[in-house]
Amino acid sequence: MKEVAELLKAKGLKVTPQRIAIFHMLCNTVEHPSAETIYKSLQETHPTMSLATVYKTLDALKKAELVQELNVGEDSFRYDAKVHSHPHLICLSCNHVYDLHTDLLQDLREKVAQDTDFELFSEKIYFYGICPECQKK
C-alpha cells in the first residue's frame, strides 16, 4: 500500500484511504471493473465511501494517467490500471473484458502513421466475440 501512496503523491494527488483502496484494487485485478463494481467490492472494507467518491477518484486517477477508461459499448465505462496501449477482447455473451497480449498491433500502428502522416499518440482497439467459456455453454 505504501507504493500506491507514493505513486499518488508523485502524480500530485492527495492521498486518501479511498483513493488508495480504489487504485490498489485496480492494480491487483485482471478484471476491468465499472465504477459500480468497484464501489460494491469495497463496501465491506470502506462502508462510508460513496459511489460519488468512486467516480471522482476514478476521474482523478484518469487525469493523472494512472488508469485508463474503457468504453466497451455498455451503459458505463470500465477501468484498467494498465495504462500502456494494449487491445482488449470483449465477450458479447458474458461481457467479460480481457487484455490482449500481442505485439502484432505495433506493426499496424506504424503502418497507420506511415500511411496517414499522423503523429499518433494512442489508440484503443476492441475485439468483440464469444469467449471460450461461453462457447462451451
Q: pLDDT tens, 79-118?
A: 999 998 889 999 999 999 999 988 888 888 889 999 999 9
> What CA–CA distances, in Å, run from 85 to 11, 67, 68, 88, 106?
19, 11, 9, 10, 10
d(CA 77, CA 73): 8
Q: Where are the domains of the chain?
A: 2-80, 88-136
Q: What pTM value is reported for the model? A: 0.87
- Residue 54 banded pLDDT, cuts 50, 70, 90: very high
pLDDT of residue 48 exceeding 80, the answer is yes
Give the pLDDT of residue 117: 95
> In the CATH scheme, what is the homologous superfamily, with its name and number, of domain 88-136?
Ferric-uptake regulator, C-terminal dimerisarion domain (3.30.1490.190)
Please state which CATH number belongs to domain 2-80.
1.10.10.10
Q: pLDDT tens, 67-80?
A: 999 998 888 899 99
Give the pLDDT of residue 85: 85
Q: What is the DSSP string of 61-121?
A: HHHTTSSEEE--SSSS-EEES--S---EEEETTT--EEE---SHHHHHHHHHHHHH-----
Residues 105/120, Cβ–Cβ less than 8 Å: no
